[in-house]
Amino acid sequence: MQKIISIPLSIIFYVLFFLWLVLFEPIQRICLNVFGYNAHRRSVAILNLFLVRTTHILGTTYSITGRDQLPKNAPLIIIANHQSLYDIPPIIWFMRHWHPKFISKKELGKGIPSISYNLKHGGSALIDRKDPKQALPAIKKVGEYINKNNYSVVIFPEGTRSKTGKPKAFSVNGLKMLYKFAPDAYFVPISISNSWKMTRFGQFPLGLGNRLYFNIHEPLKISDYSFEEIFEKTENVIINNLK
């Protein structure tokens, strides 16, 4: 029954979702090229507010906890499990004050309105996961960038999305590069729950009536831990707090 009800709602959702992406592509270009970085990042934040609000058509609601404990004027390495593409707009919108950048696969850097432009021009790293010689220097560059400017970078160390909500093993290499080249940063673990239910039937129709949880855990200052210690604590706290 849910699938039947979801068909018209999913159609409306996708029409609006892609409308915002197409509409904000020229807005982003104007903001960046005419008014600069801050105008561009605000346009990206507003785009993602629209995307988040559009999911309400599907009965989606959000619970975001833990933002009050995040340090101000310090670089953050935001580490989260990954369940669907619907993990991303809430992070961009609800954590907009920390200027989130992304470690993203290079395929997303072309052909997608608004998303590709932001990834290419907003300070994120586009990596080829099959080519460490390309990926690791790109991650190093974004690590140095956030460390210098007190921005944040989001990384999903599982690599690929979990379609069932069950987390996959975390990869070490990207986190190790960020640990090394953003020495002033904090690791910020986030447990994301129920996002996978948005695509429980695949990309169409979409799941209805889901409450997505973003549980932001206590930040861990890099200088207080060895990499092995901070990696283990981060992975454990994320996995142990999934709903």
- How far apart (Å, rounded) are the C-alpha atoms in residues 28 and 43? 6
Q: Check pLDDT > 80 for residue 143.
A: yes
* Closest among 54, 52, 75 to 64, alpha carbons compared: 52
Q: Are 81 and 193 in contact (CB under 8 A)?
A: no
6 — pLDDT class (breaks 50, 70, 90): very high
Domains of the chain: 2-240 (3.40.1130)
Q: Check pLDDT > 80 for residue 222.
A: yes
Token pair of 10 as six digits: 């999913």
Token pair of 122 as six digits: 């907003």
For 190, list phi and psi in degrees, rounded to 5: -130, 130
DSSP 8-state assignment for residue 34: I
What average pLDDT does range 52-67 have in this prediction?
97
- Looking at residue 65, its pLDDT comes to 96
Cα distances from 43 to residues 87, 89, 142, 242, in angstroms, run: 19, 13, 21, 31
* Closest among 202, 214, 183, 228 to 14, alpha carbons compared: 202
* Closest among 192, 92, 208, 210 to 151, alpha carbons compared: 92
Q: Check pLDDT > 80 for residue 195.
A: yes
Token pair of 172 as six digits: 């070490």
Q: Are 99 and 38 in contact (CB under 8 A)?
A: no
What average pLDDT does range 14-22 have in this prediction?
98
Per the model's pLDDT, the better-predicted residue between 131 and 79 turns out to be 79
What average pLDDT does range 174-180 have in this prediction?
95
Q: Check pLDDT > 80 for residue 161.
A: no
What average pLDDT does range 132-159 have in this prediction?
93
Q: Check pLDDT > 80 for residue 160.
A: no
- Looking at residue 182, its pLDDT comes to 96
163 — pLDDT class (breaks 50, 70, 90): confident
Per the model's pLDDT, the better-predicted residue between 113 and 168 turns out to be 113
Per the model's pLDDT, the better-predicted residue between 243 and 188 turns out to be 188
- Looking at residue 164, its pLDDT comes to 76
- Looking at residue 169, its pLDDT comes to 85
- Looking at residue 2, its pLDDT comes to 78
* Strands (DSSP E) found in 10-99: 61-65, 76-80
Peptide bond into 205 cis (omega under 30): yes
CA angle 68, 71, 76 (to 5 degrees): 115
